[in-house]
Amino acid sequence: MGNTHPNTVIRRKLNKIDVLSIKRYIEFWGYNKIEFFAKDEISIRLNELYNEIKADFTGKKALIVSDAYRENDGCNEYITPSQLVYDLDVFVTIPGEIHKRITINNFSCFVKKAFAFLETQGFKIYFSCKGLAYNLLANDHYDLISSAHVKDYDKIILINCGNEKVVNEFYDKYKSVARIERHRLLELLREWLIEEICAYFKSVLSQRGVSLYLLNWNWAHNNYLYPKKDITSQDREERAKYSIYNIAGDEQNHERFLKEFYSDDYSIDYVKNVMDIPLRHDYGIGCIHHSDMASEYLNVSGAERITSDTLENPNNTIYLLGGCVFFGYAIDDKNTIASYLQRKLNKENPDKKLNVANYATWGGNIDQTYMTFYELEYKPGDIVAVSYAGLIPVGDDIYGNDVSVNLSNAKADHDFYYDGVVHCNKEGYNLVADRLYNIIKPSLESNAYDKKAFKLEREEQYKTKDTMYSEVLEEYLASVKEDLPPLYEKDKVYGSAVMNCNPFTLGHRYLIESAAAKVDYLIIFVVEEDKSRFPFNDRIELVKKGTTDLSNVYVIPSGKLMISAVTFPGYFLKDNPSEDNADSSMDVEIFGRYIASALGITKRFVGQEPTDFVTRRYNETMAKILPRFGVEVNIIERLKSSSDEAKRIISASTVRKLLDSKQYDELKNFVPKTTYDYLMNNFVD
């Protein structure tokens, strides 16, 4: 596969790319094909997916995937493998709800509207080179950097079309005399998706009496280092030293700044606590949440950052969705925008009993978190406010929904922001909350009489992805139908477990026996991917022999859609666990969306996992995602060896260690007789 290995971020994105996202990408940009000249791991995987597309494309240019960027030659476009992964990642996250809106013409309209506004703010727009993007979006209205007159402009937006070297050379040459904002089309696409997704949910929610506001931070971006308005990129680089990523671990050397920023709240413990951002986990397409965290100053529970001064049994809720600013950039719970807004509501509207719920995430975009709209419970009269503090203006009311304008009232005699004016201290966030209150105030006058709570439900057409999975599932079900239980029996409960069984142990047997007692039919999927020590044919045969007395248990291969190199490659890297190979969201979502729905499975059984990091994260991801598909996750406590003084948990890894150390007598306490006989016959001289 070559010697190049994708890094953690790219591998994580690569694992989610499917046939449909590649197909939509080609159609969107108007290519007629993709040709892969690079031979690295990324290119080989993408080429495999591309070859599964069964469609003819009518575009005018080919996309060439090459190790090094090359200029557009008039007939082809060029892109590096890693950049293609980043581009495709956007198309993976596009919700079906807005798919019909995702056309190059609509995108072009958005870009032109955004550019026109930015020009009114004094920005000059340049493209880095001619190519497909320039022809589709610029139409010769915008200049190339080769003809730039930087002395005439102090604010520049440079659209990076892939020629990184040229872009960086331009930036380095002029960063001391101008403010240069480098943007890829990828970033413009994500900003557009914010607008499209929010427009969709605004329409849906308004029909149920719920208001949605899409907010901007335009004043802040034009007063970047308040109160100095005219800054250069070199000024910004200097200010970046105050990013929490640079301060964390080096707090003592930034003591003057931190004391001024936090004022009376300052202490080293405080700073370390509020900069300890809880891990963010990807639970499937459109679903990113933070882990729970309990500490003195920063608390997250059930994906919601705790807001102070909330009321019991509120009549209505104001939900905050967005990025790090709404989450609370390096600030404690009581001083987030959400908490200031809560206190403002309590003071100005005491009779209405309104609560603020903060579901913002540190990082991520709305296309990566839009499933939150389906997870929230609404009442008529509720409000949703969405804020991603990007430079590109979004929404219908660019001026009216600018949540940052009150920052002009901040005191100018001290620092009240970190590396940018949107990353505020409590003074700044208080001013933002005042402005947010005034923006949503008209909706607070709503007197909805029907207070019945509801959740949004996705229409069936949006639940099904038109990918290779449907075809693979059809073939898979046909191959195992003889070994399945009677399907679709009324009032029967169908359960399942997915097991590698490397090899089959008494622990596996205990889990199966416990699960079988809770359902009418139990389907055991044995991992078919042959990346384990014991061959698949031997593993599945041991499971069958070890469960022959359980009449309602059906043992079948897992196929390509469960714990495979395609759906969960990290499972087979458990000897080197990391956040990267623990990402099982694709595997779990495929199981819920395709496997469970096809076989009527409503319960999935897993063993409690106290030691294996990858499996433990797999269980956590299942508990988060599968209930969306009507599948209940049941965790069964692990069986321990009765003869072992330490009462070791019975696991396949322990069995392998005992086998390697030739502790054959001890093996009898960990595996059924059928497995023991197999091991003795095949692995003992």
How far, in Å, are 197, 283, 594 from residue 373 at the CA level? 10, 15, 22
Among the residues of 96-178, which ranges form H helices? Answer: 104-120, 132-137, 164-174
Among the residues of 571-672, which ranges form H helices? Answer: 585-590, 597-599, 613-625, 652-660, 664-667
pLDDT computed for residue 540 by the predictor? 95
3-class secondary-structure state, position 356 = strand
Query: 250-276, pLDDT tens digit by residue?
Result: 888 888 889 888 888 999 999 999 999
3-class secondary-structure state, position 237 = helix
Cα–Cα distance, 488 to 477 (Å, whole number): 14
Which 3-state string (H, E, C) describes 238-306? Answer: HHHHHCHHHHCCCHHHHHHHHHHHHHHHCCHHHHHHHCCCCCEEECCCCCEEECCECCCCCCEECCEEC
The pair phi, psi for residue 552, each rounded to 5°, is -100, 15
Using an 8 Å Cβ cutoff, are 583 and 282 in contact?
A: yes
pLDDT computed for residue 575 by the predictor? 46
Using an 8 Å Cβ cutoff, are 217 and 237 in contact?
A: no
Residue with tokens 């622990």: 507
| Ranges in the chain, pLDDT < 70 | 1-8, 69, 71-74, 139-140, 225-227, 283-284, 412-414, 447-450, 460-471, 564-583, 610-613, 641-648
pLDDT computed for residue 590 by the predictor? 81
pLDDT computed for residue 579 by the predictor? 44
Vertex 615: Cα angle to 677 and 518 (nearest 5): 70
pLDDT computed for residue 570 by the predictor? 54
Query: 528-583, pLDDT tens digit by residue?
Result: 887 788 999 999 999 999 999 999 999 999 887 787 655 665 555 544 444 444 56
